[in-house]
């Protein structure tokens, strides 16, 4: 008996799950496995700010009920870290030395928080908000009415900032060149956007190099941020938002081309015929701009997952974004970013 | 076992001072083998040493650091390369790329390079250097060029008893070490001490004396007449021109613009004492150490925005990851997949930017580097006020007034004895191999010095042997496998970027060096099972932490006699032997401890040159 074809998807986010669903629609027989670093089934990261409304049970965030995976025969391997991909043998190695063979591989491992190298020394003192676990840790570290310092100020950070401010926390934003990333804002329109942030209750202070971040003595406030020019700010948590960096350490050296992300054609193929990529991990060749570029946001990523799955099963569709990448100021105040939208 | 193993020598290089101090002198039986199987074993099983162009005995020097015998460690380094303190800072580290510790599933490579520096810095202040001096031969050798290759050859040739005279065009010896590499990567006092130690065996250094065809310059032909042999080690001292689109004389265009300079000229000018300035936005094109050095110097000279533009991507450039990380920490941006096609100037002729074409990655080039293929019609302009070009270096040959065959890149050709097409004229380092690294040049020069000695004396006077010495017990513990890679401290940005001379990386302290040294798998330790005494009880296989002990049918015997791949037995009745797979062995000693018949032996295997 011929061995079933095995589709393996690395990454349990929007792209990975959309791809799994489309693969199952188009191929009812073969094996599909999602490999996830985390302990949870696919949950909606965009809804994590609801933690501040008191939604602290992980079940509140699940997109699909557990039965969905059973019904669709999609195996989700949780708590599994891929350490290596061998494209010659078409097999990947997990951290516990297990080898998993694939016939078609989709890399949808997304992006981790991009950290300026200078902040590396302070990593243990920083709080993230990019997964259920880190969001819970951050929420628990913040007493009611406490202070949060946000560094960088990418658009995901602005989303957290406005939610924190709306829930009565004091929010201090130390902007960097990643302010509003990945939106591109003309320097002359900065004042208008900063005014909107001030209306939301976010204190925007002058940016600049950061000298150090220290843990305060036991009790509150717990963090002390000192700028190179001597200014200092106390807070309960310091959160970095410097954009995303693709998570692809496991595949570097695996025979597929990488610049900052996995380089893929508009059909989302990598340089290996059996490996596709989708989501924040891939840099797609953009015909209009004559350059490899990243596309972010739930809708883009979901579309990539779908197109990758279609192409893995024989189609030749190309990815085009339809997302308006402008950051707009709404009439009644407040901002609207296409990167905040999800369905 | 071969016959030579019966002979017992006392290793005259071994440092017995500690044992003598306690009044007991332990002499272990040591034998020296020239058996190709033993040499082959070392070559095959010590990947770091095999990757080192200078053949440095890496596991041995790391193990002596773990033993806190820093002086011995420094000496072990110095046998292979005469400038350990220098290479402990700026080496390109081919060893760390192949370290068994960074093989899949084993974690990160040992910080081999910085341990070399640690040994040099932690050795006693009154440490005495050991030199294996030969009697004077009366032969006179001239060396042209006092760069890394020239210095390494000068040291080895003078050690072998020849009278060496070095000719150096610049005022200071060191070549690219002095005039190319910035002081924040290689402090000049460190370089000066190491160079003096290398040349103190009687090498006559004539600095400021140019060999060439110009007025007042020494003629190469005259050197050939005056000396028994001449070694050319003039390196690659001309920058490769930037190929611009549609222009015949690119070098002239570059030279005509005051804001455009070759990186090599920029760095050499700086180190000759010229006051160099850069504008606010600096673009560097090139992907090697020179390009990154230019960018880092530009940051220290006050440039606000420094960008290094490379043709492929960061992953494929021949620079260590640490170097890239430090460069980025200093605020330099690296942008990939682009090739410069023309300079952009305003009406007044001032540089305002560089036009690039977008690349995609192609196949692999013969030299193992990645190809970049320009994409038609994808040009774009990156604004900048200063452009530094560091896309490579090539040899300068206009001083050659004798018949020497060159290849198409202008590198000189040598035969297998190291000689050029002119009798008595040898060449070494980058002048032969093209622009490469310091350790490549030193390794090549060392090899050449031996070949010159053979030619001068008419016989081989040093031969390669493997020193094999029993090891009493395993020196590693399983706990060592869980020590993470240690990192050297670095200078904070605040003080770093204001000073061209302040060293960016600092040395390991003794405690950290010991931790890092313990991570080494000690690949020079060979664990062997004596199959005559083995009772096939399987105890070692059961206790092994990995799949390192195997039941085999047989072993591949390579052409040189060395053992190759293992043919594993699938069934019991096929088992011919029980074998420790040295590729998997992490020298934990678990098998040694559990063996009921004590049939597992450990030996230390090191390559040395023995005088004959």
The CATH number of residue B253's host domain is 3.50.50.60
In a domain, B112, yes or no: yes
d(CA B245, CA B355): 10
Task: Give chain B positions within 8 Å (CB) of A292.
Answer: 337
Distance from CA of B58 to the nearest CA of A (A): 25
d(CA B178, CA B147): 8
Same domain membership, residue B361 and residue B298: yes
pLDDT reported for residue B92: 94
Mean pLDDT over each residue of chain B, to the nearest integer: 90
Q: Return the residue of A nearest to B311 by Cα.
A: A259
Percent of chain B with pLDDT over 90: 72
Q: What is the CATH number of domain A122-241?
A: 3.50.50.60
CB atoms within 10 A of CB B316: 20
The DSSP secondary-structure symbol of B301 reads: T
Q: Who among B313, B325, B377 is closest to A290 (CB)? A: B377
Average pLDDT over residues B574-578: 88
Query: B274-305, pLDDT tens digit by residue?
Result: 999 999 999 999 999 999 999 999 999 999 99
Closest CA to A228 of A207, A254, A249: A207
ipTM over 0.90: no
d(CA A133, CA A302): 23
pLDDT reported for residue B19: 45
Contact B325 A117 (CB under 8 A): yes
Q: Return the residue of B nearest to A289 by Cα.
A: B378
Q: What is the CATH superfamily name and number for domain A6-110+247-312?
A: FAD/NAD(P)-binding domain (3.50.50.60)
Strands B281-285 and B305-309: parallel
Contact A282, A262 (CB under 8 A): yes
pLDDT reported for residue B478: 85
**Binding-site residues on chain A for chain B (CB distance < 8 A):** 83-84, 93, 97, 117-118, 209, 211, 228, 252, 257-260, 263, 271, 285, 290-292
Task: Give chain A positions within 8 Å (CB) of B105.
Answer: 83-84, 93, 97
Crossing angle of the two packed helices B438-457 and B148-159, in degrees rounded to 10: 30
Under 8 Å CB pairs connecting chains A and B tally to 41
B 373-412 residues with CB < 8 A to A: 375, 377-378, 380
CB atoms within 10 A of CB B372: 23
Contact A117 B329 (CB under 8 A): yes
Scored b (16 or more CB within 10 A) or e, A39-77 reads ebbbbbbbebbebbeeeeeeeebbebeeeebeeeebebb
B 465-524 residues with CB < 8 A to A: 493-494
Phi, psi of B488 (to 5 degrees): -75, 145
d(CA B262, CA B260): 7
Select from B415, B434, B460 the last residue of a domain: B460
Residue B319 is part of which domain span?
240-393
Contact B105 A97 (CB under 8 A): yes
d(CA A166, CA B288): 51
Task: Give chain B positions within 8 Å (CB) of A87.
Answer: none
In a domain, B286, yes or no: yes
Same domain membership, residue B370 and residue B253: yes
Pick the range with the lowest mean pLDDT from A255-259, B382-386, B510-514: A255-259
Task: Give chain B positions within 8 Å (CB) of A93.
Answer: 104-105
Task: Give chain A positions within 8 Å (CB) of B315.
Answer: 252, 258-259
Closest CA to B132 of B75, B49, B85, B87: B75
Task: Give chain A positions within 8 Å (CB) of B325.
Answer: 117
Task: Give chain A positions within 8 Å (CB) of B337.
Answer: 259, 292
Query: Which of B296, B337, B377 to probe by mutation at the A interface, max A CB count within 10 Å?
Result: B337
pLDDT reported for residue B64: 96
Count up the domains in chain B and report the number.
Answer: 3
Distance from CA of B329 to the nearest CA of A (A): 6
Same domain membership, residue B109 and residue B10: yes
Cα three-residue angle A157-A159-A162, rounded to 5 degrees? 110
Phi, psi of A219 (to 5 degrees): 105, -165
Contact A290 B358 (CB under 8 A): yes
Q: Where are chain A's structural domains?
A: 6-110+247-312, 122-241
Query: Which of B102, B311, B358 to probe by mutation at the A interface, max A CB count within 10 Å?
Result: B358
Average pLDDT over residues B297-316: 94
How many helices (DSSP H) and strands (DSSP E) are in chain B?
Answer: 22, 22
Contact A185, A194 (CB under 8 A): no
Contact A127, A223 (CB under 8 A): no
Q: Which residue has the tokens 């000049």?
A: B188
Asked if B329 has any chain A CB less than 8 Å from its own CB, the reply is yes
Query: B133-181, pLDDT tens digit by residue?
Result: 999 999 999 999 999 999 999 999 999 999 999 999 999 999 999 999 9
List, edge to edge, every strand of the sheet that includes A6-10: A74-77, A31-35, A6-10, A104-107, A275-277
Q: Who among A83, A263, A291 is closest to B361 (CB)? A: A263
Scored b (16 or more CB within 10 A) or e, B39-59 reads bbbbbbbbbbbbbbbbbbbbb
Q: Is B192 helix (H, G, I), strand (E, B) or coil?
A: helix
Select from B370, B393, B416 the last residue of a domain: B393
In a domain, B96, yes or no: yes
Q: Read off the pTM.
A: 0.84
Closest CA to A326 of A179, A180, A114: A180
Contact B342, B355 (CB under 8 A): yes
Q: Tell me how far apart the terminal alpha carbons of chain B are, to the nearest angstrom.
A: 23
Q: Which residue has the tokens 């774009």?
A: B380
pLDDT reported for residue B27: 53
Q: Is B351 helix (H, G, I), strand (E, B) or coil?
A: strand
Residues 6+ positions from B146 with CB-CB distance below 8 Å: B154, B166, B167, B168, B170, B173, B174, B175, B205, B207
Same domain membership, residue B385 and residue B427: no
In a domain, B538, yes or no: no
Q: Who among B315, B360, B375 is closest to A258 (CB)? A: B315
- Band of residue B1 on the pLDDT scale cut at 50, 70, 90: very low
pLDDT reported for residue B283: 97
Contact A290 B378 (CB under 8 A): yes
Q: Who among B104, B328, B336 is closest to A93 (CB)? A: B104
d(CA A240, CA A179): 11
Distance from CA of A317 to the nearest CA of B (A): 21
In a domain, B383, yes or no: yes
pLDDT beyond 70 at B4? no
Pick the range with the lowest mean pLDDT from A125-129, B108-112, B490-494: B490-494
Same domain membership, residue B230 and residue B96: no
pLDDT reported for residue A1: 44
pLDDT reported for residue B17: 43
pLDDT beyond 90 at B57? yes
In a domain, B466, yes or no: no
Same domain membership, residue B244 and residue B103: no
d(CA A36, CA A33): 10
Is A6-110+247-312's fold the same as A122-241's?
A: yes
Token pair recorded at residue B249: 């004389």
Same domain membership, residue B387 and residue B285: yes
Same domain membership, residue B383 and residue B249: yes
Contact B262, B389 (CB under 8 A): yes
pLDDT beyond 90 at A277? yes
Select from B393, B410, B429 the last residue of a domain: B393
Distance from CA of A30 to the nearest CA of B (A): 30
Token pair recorded at residue B50: 């095999």
pLDDT beyond 60 at B21? no
Contact B375 A84 (CB under 8 A): no
For residue A125, what is the enclosing H or E element? Answer: none
d(CA B380, CA B386): 18
Query: Which of A89, A99, A253, A259 to probe by mutation at the B interface, max B CB count within 10 Å?
Result: A259
pLDDT reported for residue B18: 44
Asked if B325 has any chain A CB less than 8 Å from its own CB, the reply is yes
Same domain membership, residue B213 and residue B162: yes
Cis amide bond preceding A221, omega within 30: yes
Contact A93 B105 (CB under 8 A): yes
Distance from CA of A286 to the nearest CA of B (A): 11
Same domain membership, residue B87 and residue B11: yes
Contact A117, B325 (CB under 8 A): yes
Same domain membership, residue B266 and residue B334: yes
In a domain, B594, yes or no: no
Distance from CA of A51 to the nearest CA of B (A): 35
Query: A164-200, pLDDT tens digit by residue?
Result: 999 999 999 999 988 999 999 888 888 999 999 999 9
Same domain membership, residue B310 and residue B225: no
Q: Who among B314, B329, B378 is closest to A118 (CB)? A: B329
């Amino acid at each position: 008996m011929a061995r079933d074809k095995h589709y393996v998807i690395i990454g349990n986010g929007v792209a990975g799950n959309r791809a799994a669903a489309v693969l199952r629609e188009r191929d009812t027989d073969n094996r599909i496995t999602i490999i996830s670093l985390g302990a949870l089934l696919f949950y909606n990261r965009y809804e994590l700010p609801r933690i501040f409304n008191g939604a602290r049970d992980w079940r509140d965030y699940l997109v699909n009920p557990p039965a969905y995976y059973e019904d669709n025969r999609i195996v989700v391997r949780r708590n599994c870290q891929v350490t290596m991909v061998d494209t010659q043998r078409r097999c990947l190695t997990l951290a516990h030395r297990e080898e998993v063979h694939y016939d078609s591989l989709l890399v949808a491992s997304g992006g981790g928080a991009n950290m300026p190298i200078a902040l590396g020394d302070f990593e243990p003192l920083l709080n993230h908000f990019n997964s259920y676990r880190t969001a819970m840790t951050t929420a628990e570290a913040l007493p009611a009415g406490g202070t949060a310092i946000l560094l960088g100020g990418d658009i995901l950070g602005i989303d957290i900032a406005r939610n924190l401010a709306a829930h009565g926390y004091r929010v201090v934003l130390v902007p960097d060149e990643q302010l509003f990333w990945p939106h591109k804002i003309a320097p002359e329109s900065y004042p208008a956007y900063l005014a909107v942030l001030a209306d939301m209750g976010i204190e925007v202070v002058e940016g600049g190099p950061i000298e150090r971040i220290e843990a305060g003595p036991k009790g509150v406030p717990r963090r002390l941020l000192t700028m190179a020019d001597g200014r200092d700010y106390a807070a309960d948590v310091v959160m970095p938002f410097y954009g995303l960096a693709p998570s692809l350490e496991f595949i570097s050296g695996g025979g597929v081309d990488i610049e900052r992300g996995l380089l893929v054609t508009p059909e989302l193929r990598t340089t290996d015929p059996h490996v596709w990529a989708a989501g924040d991990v891939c840099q797609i060749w953009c015909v209009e701009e004559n350059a490899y570029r990243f596309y972010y946001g739930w809708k883009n990523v979901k579309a990539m997952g779908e197109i990758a799955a279609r192409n893995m099963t024989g189609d030749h569709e190309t990815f085009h974004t339809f997302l308006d990448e402008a950051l707009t100021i709404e009439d009644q105040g407040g901002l609207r970013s296409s990167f905040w939208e999800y369905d | 076992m071969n016959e030579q193993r019966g002979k017992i020598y006392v290793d005259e290089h071994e440092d017995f001072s500690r044992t003598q101090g306690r009044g007991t002198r332990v002499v272990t039986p040591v034998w020296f083998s020239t058996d190709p199987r033993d040499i082959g074993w070392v070559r095959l099983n010590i990947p770091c040493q095999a990757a080192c162009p200078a053949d440095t005995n890496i596991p041995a020097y790391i193990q002596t650091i773990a033993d806190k015998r820093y002086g011995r460690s420094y000496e072990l380094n110095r046998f292979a390369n005469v400038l350990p303190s220098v290479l402990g800072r700026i080496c390109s580290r081919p060893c760390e790329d192949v370290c068994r510790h960074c093989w899949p599933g084993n974690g990160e490579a040992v910080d081999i390079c910085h341990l070399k520096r640690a040994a040099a810095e932690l050795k006693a202040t009154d440490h005495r250097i050991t030199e294996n001096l030969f009697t004077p031969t009366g032969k006179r050798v001239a060396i042209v060029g006092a760069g890394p290759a020239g210095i390494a050859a000068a040291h080895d040739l003078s050690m072998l008893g020849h009278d060496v005279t070095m000719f150096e065009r610049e005022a200071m010896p060191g070549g690219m070490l002095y005039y190319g590499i910035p002081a924040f990567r290689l402090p000049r006092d460190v370089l000066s001490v190491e160079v003096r130690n290398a040349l103190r065996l009687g090498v006559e250094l004539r600095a400021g004396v140019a060999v060439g065809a110009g007025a007042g310059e020494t003629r190469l032909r005259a050197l050939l007449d005056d000396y028994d042999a001449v070694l050319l080690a003039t390196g690659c001292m001309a920058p490769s021109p930037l190929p611009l689109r549609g222009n015949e004389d690119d070098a002239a265009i570059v030279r005509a613009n005051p804001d455009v300079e070759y990186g090599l000229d920029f760095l050499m000018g700086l180190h000759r004492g010229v006051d160099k300035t850069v504008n606010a936005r600096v673009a560097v094109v090139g992907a090697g150490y020179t390009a990154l050095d230019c960018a880092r110097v530009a940051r220290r000279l006050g440039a606000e925005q420094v960008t290094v533009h490379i043709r492929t991507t960061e992953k494929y450039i021949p620079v260590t990851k640490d170097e890239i990380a430090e460069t980025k920490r200093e605020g330099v941006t690296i942008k990939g997949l682009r090739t410069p096609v023309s300079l952009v100037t305003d009406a007044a002729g001032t540089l305002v930017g560089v036009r690039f074409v977008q690349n995609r990655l192609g196949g692999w080039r013969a030299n193992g580097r990645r190809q970049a293929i320009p994409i038609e019609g994808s040009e774009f302009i990156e604004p900048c006020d200063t452009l530094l070009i560091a896309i490579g270096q090539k040899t300068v040959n206009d001083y050659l007034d004798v018949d020497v065959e060159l290849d198409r890149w202008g590198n000189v050709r040598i035969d297998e004895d190291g000689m050029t097409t002119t009798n008595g004229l040898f060449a070494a380092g980058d002048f032969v191999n093209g622009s490469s690294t310091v350790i490549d040049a030193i390794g090549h020069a060392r090899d050449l010095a031996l070949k010159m000695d053979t030619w001068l004396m008419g016989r081989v006077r040093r031969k390669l042997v493997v020193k094999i010495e029993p090891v009493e017990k395993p020196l590693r513990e399983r706990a060592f496998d869980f020590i993470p890679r240690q990192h050297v401290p670095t200078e904070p940005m605040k003080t770093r970027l204001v000073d061209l001379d302040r060293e960016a990386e600092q040395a390991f302290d003794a405690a950290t060096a010991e931790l890092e040294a313990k991570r080494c798998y000690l690949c020079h330790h060979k664990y062997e099972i004596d199959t005559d005494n083995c009772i096939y009880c399987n105890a070692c296989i059961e206790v092994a932490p990995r799949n390192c002990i195997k039941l085999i049918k047989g072993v591949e015997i390579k052409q040189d006699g060395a053992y190759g791949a293992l043919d594993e037995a699938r069934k019991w009745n096929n088992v011919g032997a029980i074998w420790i797979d040295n590729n998997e062995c992490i020298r934990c000693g678990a098998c040694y401890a559990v063996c009921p018949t004590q049939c597992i032996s450990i030996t230390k295997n090191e390559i040395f040159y023995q005088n004959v």
